[in-house]
């Protein structure tokens, strides 16, 4: 989609810009279609498939990123620490692989399997399979790996896959925008959908509503993409840099750098933008800082001026305990 059109929609959705009345009928039709589809799944006209291990969906109800990937990385490590053998399935958004489903490794091409999938492979020591059909992806993963729980990165609206636990991640800054469904607003499903999931996690909350749990994503060290050198973020304090982000909410990344005292010229691009070397050729020869997700797409043309910031999620004990209890109590298989 054209970047200017993307920016127009984001302004309309999140900055309370005037919405043309002619879009509202399309939003109403969209909501009706969503509710009809859910009803058909509920009465069995559209079929669901249950896999032989518990399935945890980590999703959202808004367009764009909310912080699902850091949560998935955290959950993989947490579950392994508690004796589980997790695997991850994902759509592989923006990937152009000719075969699907497809296993992903740290060396996979993000242009083929998606940037988020490669990031997960780099950070998670577990099997990962991508595919538009989550059921097929799950079956392929389980056919060749001894996993006893599956985490689906996104897929809340993929009702063909039966799930045991649903977790919704909400952007604590933007939340649900203007509260309307597509195309008038950013919602994939009506906001009432959040009431029917097991856990609601808010990424970087300004405040929490009843039943919500906080998640804070923190990055302390920058890693050089060419040499692997690590430097504390504070060592760049006061330094003039370029900051590049092609994620769902670039402002969050830029604000994190500014809070650390960095003097950055910011460059926001659409989520999942397919970077080329020309995108990062700036007139001023300054360090170029980017997110870890963006770094997997820039590795092939990286220079020693490129740095990325790994992010780690922090969650409260209440989330840990509720997740373990849900896994123990929910029927599956």
Examine the pLDDT at 72 and tell me if it is beyond 70. Answer: yes
For residues 150 and 90, give the distance between their C-alpha atoms in angstroms, rounded to a whole number: 10
Average pLDDT, the chain: 92
- DSSP class of residue 257 equals H
**Counting every residue, how long is the chain?**
333
Closest to 49 measured CA to CA, from 165, 130, 166, 138: 138
Query: With 90 as the cut, is the pLDDT of residue 264 above it?
Result: yes
Helix, strand and coil content of the chain, in percent to the nearest 5, comes to: 35, 20, 40
Ligand-binding site membership of 197 (annotated):
no
For residues 172 and 176, what is the distance between their CA atoms, to the nearest angstrom? Answer: 9
d(CA 312, CA 305): 23
Within 10 A of 85 (CB to CB), how many other CB atoms are there? 14
Q: Is 200 marked within a binding site?
A: no
Asked if residue 67 belongs to a known ligand binding site, the reply is: yes
Provide φ and ψ at 131, rounded to 5°: 180, 145
Q: Is the pTM of this model over 0.85?
A: yes
DSSP-derived secondary structure for 30-90: HHHHHHHHHHHHHHTSS--B--SS-EEEEE-SBSS--SHHHHHHHHHHHHHHTT--EEEEE
pLDDT tens across 171-230, in order?
998 999 989 999 999 999 999 999 999 999 999 988 999 999 999 999 999 999 999 999
- Two tokens, residue 27: 């939003």
Q: Is the pLDDT of residue 332 over 90?
A: no
Neighbours of 109 (CB within 10 A): 15
Does the annotation flag 66 for ligand binding? yes
Q: What is the DSSP string of 39-55?
A: HHHHHTSS--B--SS-E
Confidence of residue 97 (pLDDT cuts 50, 70, 90): low
Residue 14, phi then psi, degrees to nearest 5: -110, -10
- The token pair that represents 287 in the structure block: 């360090």
Output the furthest CA–CA distance in the chain (Å, rounded): 61
Residue 73 has a CB neighbour count (10 Å cut-off) of: 23
Of 329, 325, 328, 310, which Cα lies nearest the Cα of 69?
310
Closest of 69, 117, 94, 99 to residue 274, by C-alpha: 94
User: 30 and 183 in contact (C-beta within 8 Å)?
Assistant: yes
Annotated binding residue 85: no
The reply to whether omega before 189 is within 30° of 0 (cis) is: no
Check residue 333 and give its pLDDT. Answer: 47
Pick the most confident of 5-14, 63-72, 317-326. 317-326
The answer to whether 333 is a known ligand-binding residue is no
Q: Is 63 marked as a binding-site residue?
A: yes
The answer to whether the annotation marks 291 as part of a ligand binding site is no
């Amino acid at each position: 989609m054209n970047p200017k059109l993307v920016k127009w929609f984001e302004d309309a959705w999140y900055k309370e810009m005037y919405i043309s009345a002619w879009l509202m009928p399309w939003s109403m039709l969209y909501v009706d279609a969503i509710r009809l589809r859910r009803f058909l799944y509920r009465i069995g006209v559209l079929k669901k498939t249950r896999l032989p291990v518990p399935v945890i969906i980590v999703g959202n109800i808004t367009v764009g990123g909310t912080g699902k990937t850091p949560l998935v990385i955290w959950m993989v490590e947490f579950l392994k620490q508690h004796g589980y053998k997790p695997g991850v399935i994902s759509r592989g958004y923006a990937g152009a692989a000719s075969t699907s489903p497809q296993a992903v490794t740290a060396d996979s091409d993000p242009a083929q399997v998606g940037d988020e999938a490669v990031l997960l492979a780099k950070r998670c020591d577990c099997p990962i399979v991508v595919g538009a059909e989550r059921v097929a992806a799950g079956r392929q993963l389980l056919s060749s790996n001894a996993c006893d729980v599956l985490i689906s990165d996104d897929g809340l609206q993929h009702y063909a896959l039966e799930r045991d636990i649903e977790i919704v991640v909400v952007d604590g800054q933007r939340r649900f925008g203007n509260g309307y469904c597509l195309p008038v607003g950013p919602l994939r499903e009506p906001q009432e959908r959040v009431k029917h999931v097991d856990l609601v996690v808010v990424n970087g909350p300004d405040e929490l509503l009843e039943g919500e749990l906080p998640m804070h994503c923190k990055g302390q060290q920058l890693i050089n993409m060419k040499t692997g050198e690590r430097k504390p973020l504070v060592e760049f304090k006061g330094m003039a840099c370029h900051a590049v982000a092609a994620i769902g909410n670039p402002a969050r990344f830029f604000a994190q750098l500014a809070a650390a005292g960095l003097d950055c010229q910011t460059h926001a691009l659409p989520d999942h933008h397919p970077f080329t070397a020309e995108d990062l050729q700036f007139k001023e020869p300054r360090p170029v800082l980017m997110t870890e997700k963006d770094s997997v797409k820039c590795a092939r043309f990286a220079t020693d001026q490129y740095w990325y910031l790994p992010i780690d999620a922090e969650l409260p004990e209440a989330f840990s305990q509720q997740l373990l209890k849900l896994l123990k109590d929910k029927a599956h298989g």
